Structure 1
Amino acid sequence: MSAAPKPIILWAVPRSRSTAFLRVMLERGDLEVLHEPFSYLQMDGRFEIAGRHVTSTTELLDAMLALNDGGRRVFAKDTSDYKYTSLLEDERLFGGVVNTFMIREPRSAIASHYAMNPKATLDEYGFEYLHAIFEAVRANTGEVPLVIDGDDLVAAPEATVRAYCEHVGLEFMPEALRWDPDKRPNWQRTARWHAEVAASSGLAAKPSRTPERRETPDTNEHLRRIAEYHQPFYDALARHRLVSR
């Protein structure tokens, strides 16, 4: 009997459209989908997975691997606004998991993040730490991980999702690109961060409308400095970005 396919983790900068991608994975119906398990563990000191309460990254990774071996492949999406030091010291993250990455042009992602949390620290915008996770995976596996871009996802959803599925060993299901708008119960605590996805019915850029007033790196010196700081980390990741055909 062949070994079960490895769990998949999508590591993403905040506001990169990663929740929309997770919604596609939910719609498939053949995966155990986990929404930001390591972030919730970091915030709360605990996380519930398959009826089990875990209190450390070691226990959480144990539970993910066990759940994956139970017959349904695990897909987890998480963000790089927290540090996962002990996780990056666990060799199973590199040998037992398929790590993938999601970026978005920093000026747009940072403006969107600031609109949600104007008190965010420099680190919480996440590009530097996402790059650190990427480099840890590359150093420990000897392979360049897959990187997708949130803007590509909405510009060419079918091609981007198809290529991602091919890379991680999933069947591509075009019907998963559409869904009925709904609010997922496990998003309740952070519902305002996911309001657009909850109201959506598929992968698409926001429709044209009167632009909302939003501070950007062009209008806000604080955001300009943040964008300039994180740009090199984005550029380094973008050099490996998937270009779908």
Structure 2
Amino acid sequence: MTAKNPLRIAMWSGPRNISTAMMRAFENRPDTAVTDEPLYGAWLEASGESHPMADEIIEAMETDWRVVWRTLAGPVPASRAVWYQKHMTHHLLPPMLDAEWLGGFTHAFLIRDPRAVVASYLNKRDTVSDEAIGVPQQWALYRFVTQELGQDPPIIDSGEFLRDPEGHLRALCDRLGIEFTNRMLRWPEGPRETDGLWAPHWYDAVWRSTGFGPPPAEPPRLDGEAADVAACCVPSYERLFEKRLRPA
């Protein structure tokens, strides 16, 4: 596959995945600019959700998603050939599910076993729901991207990815039409200027990292509401998992 020039990658994940580490991998490429969750402020203002640092994020970010869209479709920072845009699927408000807005991007998906997501999410928040971890929205967006936009987006399962990061990154780069570089496997520890304002709350593990972590353990046992939320998300996850990218 030959990459578009510039290549605008919209990587759609849910929270508590390897989304920030994946952003690090792409940011370590000399040809790539990255943007961290550009729709967060718009989603917070529209949804009224109580998230850590919500007021500060709304104040600091553009909250009109149409303005955000025009920015993401505009000039690439530093005139780079690749623009990697990290998105959360729960930030995708219903009016945004539109070909005019989504058609100009090359879409990709990052998925994770919902049981692991729920357990990790509850380490940071007191409650969880299927909408909060974005799995229903991810499946709906995948259907839109394939059926309405005619794209065949790569899907990365983070559990499998961490067992073979290089193999998966090579396969992903091949699908995107760009050259793989070993620089995607290692990066300097610490924060980045490109990290979102919310990074101190969520990115502590990534700030300590210099590469992708070890393969995951078995998904944890969940009880009560947590188990119900994970079970609700499993069918959508499994549909996406069936279509996952597999290294050669």
TM range (shorter): 0.7 to 0.9
Structure 1 or 2: more helix by fraction = 1
Write the distance in 2 (CA, Å) between the matches of 1:44 and 1:67.
26
Alpha-carbon distance change, 238 to 40 in structure 1, aligned in 2, over 3 angstroms: same
Which of 129, 144, 148 aligns to 1:140? It is 148
Matched with 2:52 is none
1:242 equivalenced with 2:242 (yes/no):
no
Q: CA deviation at 1:91?
A: 1.9
Aligned pairs for 1:104-119 (under 5 A) are 104-119=112-127
2:134 maps to 1:131? no
Report if the CA contact (8 A) 2:6-2:83 is conserved: no
CA gap of 1:3–1:115, structure 2 versus 1, over 3 A, is closer
- Number of equivalences: 230
CA distance change for structure 1 residues 137 and 174 in 2, over 3 Å: closer, same or farther? same
The change in CA–CA distance for 1:4 and 1:175 in structure 2 (over 3 A counts) is closer
Does 1 or 2 have the higher relative contact order (CA < 8 Å, sep 6+)? 2
Instruction: Please name the residue that 2:11 is paired with.
Output: 10
In 2, Cα distance between equivalents of 1:205 and 1:32: 26
| Structure 1 residue corresponding to 2:175, chosen from 167, 175, 192 | 167
Q: Is the CA contact 1:10–1:77 (under 8 Å) kept in the aligned structure 2? A: yes
SS for the counterpart of 1:66 is: coil
- Once the two structures are superposed, the pairs formed by residues 56-71 of structure 1 within 5 Å of their partners are 56-68=64-76, 71=79
Larger mean CA deviation between 157-166 and 118-127 belongs to 118-127
What letter matches 1:229 in structure 2?
C
Cα deviation 1:66-122 (Å, max 9, x = unaligned): 12397322110111233422221242412x110100101111111111111122333
Matched, 1:153 2:197: no
Q: CA RMSD in A?
A: 2.5
Does residue 89 of the first structure (1) align with residue 90 of the second (2)?
Answer: no
User: What is the distance in 1 between the residues matched to 2:199 and 2:209?
Assistant: 17
Secondary structure (helix, strand or coil) at the match of 1:115 reads coil
Shift of 1:189: 2.2
Q: 1:44-83 to 2 correspondence within 5 Å? A: 54-68=62-76, 71-72=79-80, 73-83=82-92
CA contact (8 A) 1:187 1:194 kept: no
2-structure distance, mates of 1:140, 1:74: 23
Per the alignment, residue 230 of structure 1 pairs with 233
TM-score by length of 1: 0.84
| CA distance 1:84–1:184, change in 2 (3 Å) | same
Which among 195, 199, 203 is matched to residue 212 of structure 2?
203
5+ residue gaps in structure 2? Answer: 47-60
